Amino acid sequence: MTDTVARALDAVPLRVTDPEKIPAERYYDPQFFELERKHLWPRVWQMACRLEEIPEVGDYVEYSILDKSVIVVRGKGGVRAFHNACSHRGVRLANGPGNCAKKGFVCPFHGWRFNAEGECTFVFGKHIFSEAMLNAAETDLVPVRCEEWAGCAFINFDNEAPPLLDCLGPIVTRLNARHVDRLKMDWWFGTLLPTNWKLAMEAFQEGYHVMRTHPQLEALSPPGFSRLGPDADAPPPAETITPRDLVNLNIDFLKSVGDGMAGMVHHTEVAVLEKLRDMDVPDDPQAAIMAFYARAQEEVTKDGLARGAPMFDIAKVNAENEFHDVEFMFPHFFLLPSLAAMSSYRIRPLTAETCFFEIWSLVLRPEGEVYETPSEPTILPYDSRDFPEIPQQDYSNLPIQQLGLHNFKHMRLSHEWEGLISNYHRLVDGFLAGLDRETLRKAENTVNSGYNSPIRDIGF
């Protein structure tokens, strides 16, 4: 680390000085929240919408982040993004999703109009303005950088930021192998959580919580499956477990994940797995598990292909790429691969102690399948029984954690299992310190990783 970098980091209030300790005030201090608003959010790539939300020319959505609002619109030449403000006197043009193909965006104040390419197409009573006020360079909508990946449009307010894929890093290759750009929405939920946005994300950045938060999954984890050992009040393990029991436990586990997420392991995949309960099983327990997963991957791939889904060869992709159950992309986007289906999360700050959390269930749909694409998330209270069981369990800890942080100095992290939390916090500090673009890009490549990552050297 150079002296300049060290000095810039030192000037960041509440910064992480020990990678294993996260100061609690970072989750509620209004000044820290303000620093994030000023120095983080304007400089990062943000998942702004799924491209399925805007399939036709003229379709648009409004993406908002804190006080900023962006129109993401499918124009004739592709997807574009613009600051959501009429070039006359600044009125917001889009409010939620819609289609502008017929009339364009019409400002409700004085009737100025703009097309999907952001061009100003109509000024009412043009002759009452001086020429200087109406030159096209100034009356057209102001573009925001917009790039596509994984079936999503991403925006960035910073014209100096490196391209999206350069920021995302190696994670792109292993997710592309899983056909992320072909995934389609199964459902989409949203909820307001009474917690800081970072705290909400961190409930999904480690698997250490599974034992206590998701006991139904822990109960189905085959003995020896976890390196962590049993809970203090767990019953003693069954004396004997046969290789067939192990196969059944693994099927039960995957089914429980699928039920608990209402996706991730999709019900079509669970149906395929159910048929493997009587498969031939080797005598050695470890070999039995390996044989089961090999068969499961093969059969789910075959089933998808037979149904006409844009499948990838799951076994081959898993053999050639790192696999992580939860993949995090800085600053606020997640994809959760399992077999072929995935879940996905996006978390946005609202205030220092509230955030908006969205979940998608995504599937590789058979070509030509008729289905309805949600145009907006179904919004539920965070404690709604209509949420799938697993997010319900995760959400249940968050409000009491947010409260607890006010009586608390700093989190103490496991350097082996909770490293992702530390890694991305230190990257936030890099943004708050205004470090140079290349240093931040390299750090982001390191931070973007699967959950249970160890604490890593992010270069500063």
36 counts as binding Fe ion under rule CB under 5 A: no
Q: Are 389 and 383 in contact, with CB atoms under 8 Å apart?
A: no
Stretch that binds Fe ion, among 58-66, 236-244, 391-399, 451-459 (CB under 5 A): 391-399
Judged by CB, which is closer to Fe ion: 221, or 439?
A: 221
DSSP 151: T
Judged by CB, which is closer to Fe ion: 248, or 343?
A: 343
Judged by CB, which is closer to Fe ion: 23, or 207?
A: 207
Nearest to 249 by CA among 299, 211, 283, 288: 288
Judged by CB, which is closer to Fe ion: 204, or 333?
A: 204
Which residue has the CB atom at the shortest distance from Fe ion?
Answer: 394
The site that binds Fe ion (CB under 5 A) totals a number of residues, namely 1
Judged by CB, which is closer to Fe ion: 256, or 445?
A: 256
Q: Which residue has the tokens 């960035």?
A: 156
**Rounded to the nearest whole angstrom, what is the least distance from the CB of residue 342 to Fe ion in the complex?**
16
Residue 34: count of CB within 10 angstroms of its CB: 11
Sign of the dihedral defined by the CA atoms of residues 183, 184, 189, 194, in that order:
positive
For residues 363-393, one letter each, b for 16 or more C-beta atoms within 10 angstroms of the residue's C-beta and e for the rest, the string is bbbbeeeeeeeeeebeeeebeeeebbbbbbb
Judged by CB, which is closer to Fe ion: 157, or 451?
A: 451
Q: Which of residues 237-266 bind Fe ion (CB under 5 A)?
A: none
Site track 346-385 with Fe ion (rule: CB under 5 A), x = hit: ----------------------------------------
Q: CA–CA distance from 118 to each of 64, 80, 115, 271, 419 (Å)? A: 18, 8, 5, 48, 43
**Rounded to the nearest whole angstrom, what is the least distance from the CB of residue 209 to Fe ion in the complex?**
6
**Rounded to the nearest whole angstrom, what is the least distance from the CB of residue 203 to Fe ion in the complex?**
6
3-state secondary structure of 167: helix
Paired strand residues for 378: 189
Stretch that binds Fe ion, among 188-196, 292-300, 393-401, 419-427 (CB under 5 A): 393-401
**Rounded to the nearest whole angstrom, what is the least distance from the CB of residue 444 to Fe ion in the complex?**
24
Stretch that binds Fe ion, among 144-152, 154-162, 341-349, 386-394 (CB under 5 A): 386-394
DSSP 40: I
**Rounded to the nearest whole angstrom, what is the least distance from the CB of residue 225 to Fe ion in the complex?**
16
10 phi, psi to nearest 5 deg: -60, -30
Residue 139 identity (one-letter amino acid): T
What's the rounded Cα separation, in Å, for the pair 368 and 107? 38
Stretch that binds Fe ion, among 185-193, 365-373, 394-402, 438-446 (CB under 5 A): 394-402
**Exposure on the CB side of residue 317, measured as CA atoms within 13 A:** 21
Judged by CB, which is closer to Fe ion: 186, or 394?
A: 394
Residue 331, preceding peptide bond in cis (omega within 30° of 0): yes
Residue 192 identity (one-letter amino acid): L
Using CB under 5 A, which of 53, 206, 394, 429 touches Fe ion? 394
**Rounded to the nearest whole angstrom, what is the least distance from the CB of residue 189 to Fe ion in the complex?**
16
**Exposure on the CB side of residue 318, measured as CA atoms within 13 A:** 17
**Rounded to the nearest whole angstrom, what is the least distance from the CB of residue 264 to Fe ion in the complex?**
11
**Rounded to the nearest whole angstrom, what is the least distance from the CB of residue 205 to Fe ion in the complex?**
10
Judged by CB, which is closer to Fe ion: 375, or 397?
A: 397
Judged by CB, which is closer to Fe ion: 203, or 455?
A: 203
What's the rounded Cα separation, in Å, for the pair 113 and 111? 6
What residues line the site for Fe ion (CB under 5 A)? 394
